[in-house]
Amino acid sequence: MSMRSIWRPIARSATSARLSRHIVPRSPARATSPRGVSAFFSTAGQRMLKDQPDPDLNNDEFQAYLDGNAAWAQSVTDKDPNFFTESAKAQYPTVLWIGCGDSRVPETTLLGLKPGDVFVHRNIANILHPSDLSSLSVIEFSVKYVGVKHVIVCGHTQCGGLIASMKNDRVGLIDSWLTPVRALRCKHADELDSLDTMDAKTKRLAELNVQNSLEVLKTNPIIIDAMRDRGLQIHGVVYNLATGKLEPLETGESQEDFKKRIAAFETK
C-alpha cells in the first residue's frame, strides 16, 4: 500500500475533526437530521446577510449626492446665469493650492472663492516629495502653462498623518509616504518633546511640514524660473480646524541662502 493511500483517509479524518469543532451543532438530532443541518446553515446565512451593507441605503446616499449637485447648480445659475457657460470655455485660476486630502479642508470654500479660481493638488499630509510625478506634473502645468500667480502650501491641525507620525502608528503603505514627516519629528525632537499636549505637538509638526514642503518647492526649476521671470509668490499656511482660520507662516530666506539655492538648483 502506498503512502499516498494511507495518508488520504488520515488527512480526511483530521480535516473532518477540525471542521466538526466549528460547525457541528450541539444537539445530536440537529447533527444527524437533514432538516437540522438545513436549518443551521439557513440561520448562518441569515446572519451573514444581516452583516452586509444595505444596497438600497447606499443608492439613497448616492442619489442624495446627485440631488445636492442639481440643487447647487440651479442655485449658481439663479445667481449668475452665465457662470457655467463661461466656465466651460477656459480656466483662469490665480493660485495653485497644495494641501492635504482631509475632507475638512476644502480649499475653494475656505478661501471664499468659486470653481475655476483655484488649481488644486492634494495628498496625504500635504507632503512634497522631490521625485513625486503627480505633484511635479501639477506644479509644471499650473505654473508654466496656466500661469498662476501664487502657490500656497497648506497644512492643518488634527492631521491624521501627522498624528500617526507622532504616535508611531503603523498604517501600512502610507508609512513610506510619511517618511519626510517622521524625519522632521526626529530632527526637531527636542522642540516637539518640550510641548505639553499632542495637539500642540501635531500643530507644530504641521508648521514644520509646510516649511519643509516649501523648501522642496523652492528647488523646483519651474518655480525658480517663475519667481525670477514674473514674480511668482509662494506662501505657507496652517488651517486651524477649530477656528476655520488660515494662519500664515514665515516663508522668507536670507539673500545668502537665496544665492546658494539658485546656484545649486537653477537649470538652463
Catalytic residue among 100, 121, 154, 185: 100
Residue 133's SS3 state is helix
Catalytic residue among 26, 51, 150, 156: 156
- List the one residue out of 64, 49, 97, 124 whose CA is nearest residue 237: 97
Catalytic residue among 121, 154, 159, 204: 159
Residue 111's SS3 state is coil
Give the span between the Cα atoms of 15 and 244, in whole angstroms: 60
Helix (H) or strand (E) holding 247: strand 245-249
Catalytic residue among 102, 154, 185, 204: 102
The angle, 0 to 180 degrees and rounded to 10, between the axes of the packed helices 160-167 and 198-217 is 110
- Residue 186 among the catalytic residues: no
Helix (H) or strand (E) holding 257: helix 255-265
Q: Can you state the percent helix, strand and coil of the chain, rounding each to 5? A: 60, 10, 30
| Helices (runs of H) and strands (runs of E) counted in the chain | 14, 5
The pairing of beta strand 245-249 with beta strand 233-240:
antiparallel
Give the span between the Cα atoms of 180 and 198, in whole angstroms: 19
Catalytic residue among 8, 12, 104, 188: 104
- Residue 104 among the catalytic residues: yes
- Residue 100 among the catalytic residues: yes
Q: CB of 121 within 8 A of CB of 134?
A: yes
Residue 193 DSSP one-character state: H
Burial class (CB in 10 A: 0-12, 13-18, 19+), 127: buried
| Residues assigned a catalytic role | 100, 102, 104, 156, 159
